[in-house]
Chains A and B, each alone.
Chain A
Amino acid sequence: MDPAVIGYGAFAAVIVLLALRVPIAFALAGVASLGTLLIFATRTGDLMLERAIRPTTSLVFSNSFDLIHSYDLSMIPLFVALGHIAYRAEITTRIYHAARVWLAPVPGGVAMASVVGCGGFSAITGSSIACASTMGRICAPEMLRMGYDKRLATASVAAGGTLGSLIPPSVLFIIYGIFTETSISALFLAGILPGILSLAGFLLVIFVWVSRDPAAAPRYTDAISFAEKREAALGAWPAVLLFVIIVGGIYGGIFTATEAAAICVSAAVLIGFLQRRLSLRGLWAAVRETCLQTTAIFLIAAAAKIFVAFIALTGVAGDIVGAVQAAELSPVLLLTAIALIYLVLGMFLDPIGIMVLTLPLMVPLVETYGFDLIWFGVVVIKLLEIGLITPPVGLNVFVIAGVVGREVGIDRIFSGILRFLSVDVIVLILIMAFPILSLLIPGSM
């Protein structure tokens, strides 16, 4: 059987299974395992199932186990724990109270503050998932409690989380830099303006949304005295302290971005205990909650990793890129085709998997067109970030869904995401049309 046929069939099977409400982790792992078995069993032309079992199980195990057995990803459960602990220690409530009091005149001000917070958090973590899970835990429940539209409260943070890889530091830029032998520091600098542009786009979405539907974001209508404002601001000090510790620690050379998660958790626990707002019982509950949530997310990520290895076997990525190459498109059409490829793959696969599958083929192709690889890197990362919030497999959306629990369904979040996606596409076109947006800062250094 032609591996590519198995590959395309697998994409179709995943869509069908997901539509049938099969849990995402099971659908991805099941289809990938079966597809891998088929490929190994039919390699020599005859069907040899028995011989296929060993390579299939080996592929399935190493890809899922290695994803979990990871030092770098330890930041994800820890950042999720930080969100829960900060919530129970009332650190988040206080910063939200401050945001609400200070931003009372701004329609949708708290949602905007959340997105800006995502941008700030992006500066300390290299992972969009970590960004979405932490900020999601901190922001979404507070906004829901204030009576924000459920779609706005969740989608704004899911979208804001995608700033995590555009604003440095960024794991995705590091991997892109390795694959293209471009300067990682130049890539980091190149991501800054597009990151800010994306952030501005998200703010615009919130502004328009709330202007058209004021009920989506309840306003704080009481009269607010300056004393009240000052008290609210002062009450937010633990959050400010946490931020100072983390930024100072990373950029001051005391700990790495991975270690920052653990330091933050320790600091939040300490603050919570010292302020007598966090009890041992509360801490324990926060950590148990963390476990239930991160497991659900990691099971999907591990299954997606198996799916990527399976897709590598099918040669589908090479197929698609080869077709684009053979078409000898004009530069504009080539960029359009590339964007479509990444958007479609982004519907199913995780960003790192997509890069590993496509960059070895894509980069030589774009080089023949004389594209600047730093700028192209920003385009790719932006496309991959969009993939994190597109259905059916949108990891950032799942992260937020895990945080808010049964209160807001995934479909509701995706329907809110649509508005942010439309602006994301405009930002993407701007980034593609004006390379200077990416190259200005690295060029001036």
Chain B
Amino acid sequence: MLHRLEKLLLDLAAVAVIGLGLLITAQVGLRTFANSSIPDAIVMVRELMVAAIVLPAAAVTANRAHIAVEVVSNRLPSRAQDALLIFGTIVGLLGLLPLIYAGWREAYGAIAEGGYFFGDLNLPRWPGRVIFLFGITLCWVRLALMLATDLGHWRRGEPIPAAEPVHRVEEV
């Protein structure tokens, strides 16, 4: 279930990146050949950026692809390494909490007050903020689930299985 949701969000992020490319290319084309432009293109690019960057956060987490410094931990026995892995997940769970709380406040505020970006179209503020909240929250849920499974392995004295990317680039 969560896995499929992550995949969907990763796909949506990919659509956002393609959207970025098309939007900016169209903007240049219109300016060069038709002396015109797409209204509020900059606002749309910014909102797409949030989708492109934040939506894959849970998939990155599931892949255990967060970047970490391993120079010290690599010299430790594997059980100690597993303990550090669990510790890192706990720090992540705590570190993301302020972002989720703040993201919720912002998303709620943007919807309740009907905030918009001043421009030709007065595009609403809420989509980017809701996407941000959603992406980070899902990342947190994934971390929590990983903590639960990793702790299970740890208690049973088993090694935490080596990270195989859950989300692969090539779809079957």
Contact = CB atoms under 8 A, between A and B. Distances in A.
A266 B170 CA distance: 21
B60 A288 contact: no
B95 A291 contact: no
Contacts of A402: 65, 67
A434 interface: no
A441 interface: no
Contacts of B105: 57, 61
B10 A20 contact: no
Contact of B92 (A18, A23, A74, A411): A23
A56 B25 CA distance: 39
Given A21-B88, A61-B103, A262-B20, A30 B94 contact: yes
Contact of A255 (B28, B55, B69): B28
A325 B73 CA distance: 40
Contacts of B14: 284, 287-288, 290-291
Given A303-B95, A414-B71, 10 more contacts: A20-B72, A21-B81, A22-B84, A24-B69, A26-B95, A33-B97, A60-B99, A73-B49, A285-B169, A291-B17
A65 B85 contact: no
Interface in B24-78: 24-25, 27-28, 32, 42, 45-50, 52-57, 59-60, 63, 65-74
Given A23-B88, A24-B67, A57-B101, A262 B46 contact: no
A284 B10 CA distance: 11
A68 B49 contact: yes
Interface string A260-292: 011101100000000000000000110111111
Interface residues of B, number: 66
A61 B96 contact: no
Which of A24, A64, A65 is most buried by chain B, counting CB atoms within 10 A of its CB? A65
Given A21-B68, A288-B14, A410-B70, A60 B98 contact: yes
A-side interface mostly = helix
Contact of A21 (B49, B54, B85): B85
Contacts of A232: none
Contacts of A392: 69
Given A26-B92, A29-B99, A299-B60, A266 B128 contact: no
Contact of A78 (B21, B106, B170): B21
B164 to A, nearest CB: 10
Interface of A: 17-27, 29-30, 33, 37, 53, 56-58, 60-61, 64-65, 68-71, 73-74, 77-78, 81, 254-255, 258-259, 261-263, 265-266, 284-285, 287-292, 294-300, 303, 391-392, 398, 401-402, 409-411, 414
A291 B170 contact: no
Contacts of A266: 21-22, 25
Interface of B: 10-11, 13-14, 17-18, 20-25, 27-28, 32, 42, 45-50, 52-57, 59-60, 63, 65-74, 81, 84-85, 87-88, 91-92, 94-99, 101-103, 105-106, 128-129, 132, 167, 169-171
A68 to B, nearest CB: 5
A259 B24 contact: yes
Contacts of B17: 77-78, 81, 287, 290-291
Nearest to B57: A295
Contact of A69 (B28, B50, B59, B102): B50
B69 A69 contact: no
A74 B20 contact: yes
Contacts of B53: 68, 77, 294-295, 298
A77 B56 contact: no
A23 B25 contact: no
Nearest to B164: A406
Contacts of B169: 285, 288-289, 292
Contacts of A261: 24
B21 A33 contact: no
Contacts of A303: 95
A296 B129 contact: no
Contacts of B21: 78, 81, 262, 265-266
8 contacts: A18-B68, A21-B73, A22-B92, A29-B96, A30-B95, A57-B98, A58-B102, A78-B24
Given A74-B20, A255-B28, A266-B21, A27 B45 contact: no
